[in-house]
Amino acid sequence: MIDVIVAGGGPTGVMLASELRLHGMHVLVVEKAEEPTRIVRSLGLHARSIEVMDQRGLLERFLEHGQKYPIGGFAGISKPSPENLDTAHPYILGIPQPTTDRLLTERAIELGAEIRRGCELVGLSQDDDGVTAELADGTQLRSRYLVGCDGGRSTVRRLLGIGFPGEPASTEWLLGEMQVDVPLDELMAVVAEVRKTQLGFGVGPIGDGACRVVVPAETVTEDRTVPPPTLDEVKQRLRAVAGTDFGVHSPRWLSRFGDATRLAERYRVGRVFLAGDAAHIHPPLGGQGLNLGIQDAFNLGWKLAAAVKGWAPDGLLDSYQPERHPVAEDVLDITRAQVELISVDPAAQAVRRMVAELMDFEDVNRYLIEKVAAIGIRYDFGEGHELLGRRLRDVELTQGRLYERMHDGRGLLLDQTGGLSAAGWSDRVDHVVDASEELDVPAVLLRPDGHVAWVGEGQQDLLGQLSRWFGTPLG
């Protein structure tokens, strides 16, 4: 029997596969597309996703293919980055989604995950012992768990009958990469003028004489299965919005997207889970969609592995929804707000001017940046120290860095007292006796996803939290 079937081979699916393989799970990823997409929907990684890559020893690969940009701004309102953000990575890493997909897929395969392309899931059923997945070619597969990472039109979500309430698209944009036949200074002058009233418009160089084009569509396409726009349609909209089509030609790819905003009512039904766009969709403003999905996978992977291995304490799998569902709700509200702030409506523009003024206050600026970068998230682990429930930033130790100790996806007890023990959980938790000038607490217990499960110095208190998160001790 397969341990976990992952439906969907995008960034969320392959990230989840890698997390599961770190714990030795038999993982199969089924992806209906024959080839990886060339469409660049996401342009980069935010601070928390950069931390995730660092925690798993992947960051150098991403840095080789990306470019660092200053972190700052909200809804296109440019402001300086707040000082002393709570992260060792206070930047945005510009990297196109196909590259992110490729790097994460390569990692999953290195770790031993099986990925089958041209393999579509069309049915599923489950019982007390596992899940039966039916593929389009009639093949039936059996697994202990199944996770739907199959996008906004998720087959898994539909088969489970999970509601997907929210707002349908009210605005649509045409998107693509293509050659432009006007001088760059002329192009940028026109774009700057149009963006005075059309903040959802953009044409910018991406190298090799090509540009990324985003232009409002004339109407909203109700049927999301319609084919991509044509080059003629893009030219027509450019002329209508900008007064010129910039001589665009030779498109690499074309697509369309809308501002539909929806959130799954449940993230779990029995042995089947949802993650990524299968669980939530929203406009791309702020660039949080891909990041949100990767972080879903980071939260869920170790919990599923614990369940398969048999050491998951009661309620561990059930913690996935109450931890991640509110995060998605918050992201949906952030993107709704940004959609309003780029509206050409005079009332919306008045609010935009007020928000811009408020962002001159350091606390307001920091608050918004932490939301978009996902470094302000705090899961509800109950009352306690201010670090409890937050992810811990990478800190320098006397012997290296904290995140260098987390590459294997295990829990970690960072013990600055030297007097604690996690011996009964040595197969699940690494005990690191070391010190950091950046950490003003005696000891912290980190879950495999880097969130702080305990802060203190008492062995008895520690034992209770080890049992809560890592189950019954050995022997």
Confidence (pTM)? 0.94
Task: Decide which of 240, 258, 276 is a domain's last residue.
Answer: 258
Residue 24 in any domain: the answer is yes
CA proximity to 434, closest of 471, 466, 391, 402: 402
The CATH number of the domain holding residue 250 is 3.30.70.2450
Instruction: Say if residue 211 is in the same domain as residue 230.
Output: yes
Is 275 domain-assigned? yes
Q: Please check whether residue 365 lies inside any domain of the structure.
A: yes
pLDDT for 105: 97
pLDDT for 448 beyond 90: yes
Residue with token string 């192009």: 187
Q: What is the mean pLDDT of the chain?
A: 94
88 and 110 housed in the same domain: yes
Q: 51-60, 222-231, 297-306: which has the minimum mean pLDDT?
A: 222-231
276 shares its domain with 153: yes
Residue 137 located in a structural domain: yes
Q: 403-414 pLDDT, tens per residue?
A: 999 999 999 999
Residues 16 and 119 in one domain: yes
Number of domains, the chain? 3
Q: Mean per-residue pLDDT for 304-308?
A: 98
Q: Is 432 domain-assigned?
A: yes
Q: Are 101 and 36 in contact, with CB atoms under 8 Å apart?
A: yes
Considering the domain architecture, whether residues 151 and 199 belong to the same structural domain is answered as no
Domain shared by 154 and 231, yes or no: no
Task: Output the pLDDT for position 131.
Answer: 98
Q: Please report which confidence band the pLDDT of residue 400 belongs to, taking 50, 70 and 90 as the band edges.
A: very high
Domain match, 158 and 300 both: yes
* Residue 433 located in a structural domain: yes
Can you name the residues that pair with 50 across neighbouring β-strands? none
Q: Tell whether 381 is covered by a domain.
A: no
In a shared domain, residues 155 and 189? no
339 confidence band (pLDDT: 50, 70, 90): confident
The pLDDT of residue 223 is: 63
| Same-domain check for residues 58 and 94 | yes
26 and 64 both lie in a single domain: yes
Look up residue 244 and give its amino acid.
T
Query: What's the one-letter identity of residue 13?
Result: G
User: CATH number for the domain including 465?
Assistant: 3.40.30.120
Residue 155 and residue 72 share a domain? yes
Report residue 363 as tokens: 């606390």
Question: What percentage of residues in the chain have a pLDDT greater than 70?
Answer: 99
Which residue do the tokens 């980190």 mark?
446
Domain-located, residue 211: yes
When pLDDT is cut at 50, 70 and 90, the band that residue 259 belongs to is confident
- What is the span of the domain harbouring residue 459? 396-470
* Structure confidence by residue, pLDDT tens digits, 218-247: 888 766 667 889 999 999 999 999 999 999
Give me the pLDDT at residue 15, please.
Answer: 98
13 and 156 co-located in one domain: yes
Percentage of the chain beyond pLDDT 90 is: 81
Query: Pick from 258, 285, 315: which residue ends a domain?
Result: 258
